Amino acid sequence: MGGNYEQLVELISRTSGMSVGEIQRKIEAKQAKLSWLISKEGAAQVVAAELGVNLDKQVIKISQIVPGMKKINLIGKIITLFPIREYNKNGRSGRIGSFVLADDTSNIRVVLWDENHIDLIVKNQVRENMVVEINNAGIRNGELHLTNFSEIKNSNNVLNSIVMEKPVFNKKIAEFNMNDAVSTRAFIVNIFEPRFFEVCPACKKKVENMECQQHGKVVPERRALLNFVMDDGTDSIRAVMFSDNIGKLIEKDELENPEIFSLKKQELLGKELVVLGKVRKNKVFDNNEFIIEDVRAVDIDKLINELEK
């Protein structure tokens, strides 16, 4: 079993004493009863409550977190601590703390909003390589968020094995969640014209008129961005590739020559590929998009073996 949903089903199964198959059938029945207006993750939480499995009191693994889950309790090791940021938005100001927490199943970004929690970072009472226990946190856009109702404290647990890299799960597009690291097999159904822009060679931020806000006058680097739409039969999603990875799909000279790009576009439309990347929120359009990091041809022999199993 791979993704967070499967991990949650295993947790409910283990706690309730029912088999995984029985739990899955209950979840499907619950979705059908609610006219499929509820996600399988949401249905799983309803089924857990009906079986007397109180997820609010369970210390769970990071891989068992699913969208919509509240009052999350877990133990993990801080592997990356980010600088505290200040914000001033809509007349409100404050500080935000954040770090990456890992356990033996996965890792997740944790965001702190409460000033008391942030002070723990300032006082070095919450620091990198520390094992902490978090209680009453919530999941939002694939991140774990702590409010003033949440708790974070030092833990005496020893974590010898932790996941430093985000595990990549095979998923259908309809199952994508915010901040997922996933692999999927899908068809290219639309390709848009490439966009070109210039970045500062030092900070890699966008520059205009050879001027970087941080480094002043620079000799910029030319970068490209390619948008296309992928569909796997369950749903479609806008996919995005940046300069470093576009070459895995289209060569640089094909990208920059409009006539050659037009021919290449026709060649790629309808092509089935295995793509790996991360799901992110597009703040402009307020929807999910797939940032592609690798592209692979479909291995027919491997696919046949999987179908036979």
Q: Are residues 113 and 204 in the same domain?
A: no
Q: Are residues 131 and 45 in the same domain?
A: no
- Predicted confidence at residue 131, as pLDDT, reads 96
Q: Are residues 187 and 296 in the same domain?
A: yes
Could you report the per-residue pLDDT of 9-33, keeping only the tens digit for each?
A: 888 998 889 999 999 999 999 888 8
Where a domain ends, among 164, 187, 218?
Answer: 164
- Predicted confidence at residue 25, as pLDDT, reads 93
Q: Are residues 114 and 180 in the same domain?
A: no
Q: Are residues 177 and 299 in the same domain?
A: yes
Q: Are residues 159 and 178 in the same domain?
A: no
Could you report the per-residue pLDDT of 64-119, keeping only the tens digit for each?
A: 888 778 889 999 999 999 999 988 777 788 899 999 999 998 899 999 999 999 99
Give the C-alpha distances (Å, rounded to integers) separating 175 from 119, 254, 301.
37, 33, 25
- Predicted confidence at residue 308, as pLDDT, reads 64
Mean pLDDT over 285-289 rounds to: 84
Q: 250: exposed, middle or buried (C-beta count within 10 Å: 0-12, 13-18, 19+)?
A: buried
Average pLDDT along the chain: 88
- Total domains in the chain come to 3
Q: Are residues 198 and 289 in the same domain?
A: yes
Could you report the per-residue pLDDT of 106-144, keeping only the tens digit for each?
A: 899 999 999 999 999 999 999 999 999 999 999 887 889
Mean pLDDT over 47-53 rounds to: 87
Where a domain ends, among 118, 133, 164?
Answer: 164
Those residues whose C-beta lies under 8 Å from the C-beta of residue 131, and which sit 6 or more positions away, are 75, 76, 77, 78, 154, 155, 156, 157, 158, 159
pLDDT at 155 over 80: yes
Pick from 274, 290, 261, 249: nearest CA to 192? 261
Where a domain ends, among 145, 164, 183?
Answer: 164
Q: Are residues 12 and 143 in the same domain?
A: no
pLDDT at 307 over 70: no
pLDDT at 201 over 90: no
Mean pLDDT over 150-155 rounds to: 94
**Tokens found for residue 235:** 């749903």
Q: Are residues 177 and 281 in the same domain?
A: yes
Using H for helix, E for strand and C for coil, what is the string for 127-138?
A: CCCCEEEEEEEE
- Predicted confidence at residue 194, as pLDDT, reads 93
Note whether 241 and 226 are within 8 A (CB). Answer: yes
- Predicted confidence at residue 126, as pLDDT, reads 94
- Predicted confidence at residue 1, as pLDDT, reads 36
Q: Are residues 174 and 254 in the same domain?
A: yes
Note whether 87 and 80 are within 8 A (CB). Answer: no
Q: Are residues 6 and 81 in the same domain?
A: no
- Predicted confidence at residue 3, as pLDDT, reads 61
Most confident of 55-69, 86-100, 237-251: 237-251
Q: Are residues 209 and 289 in the same domain?
A: yes
CA 132-137-139 angle, to 5 degrees, is: 120
pTM of the model: 0.63
pLDDT at 2 over 50: no
Task: State how far the Cα of 229 lies from the Cα of 256, in Å rounded to an integer.
Answer: 20
User: What range does the domain containing 34 cover?
Assistant: 1-53
CATH of the domain at 73: 2.40.50.140
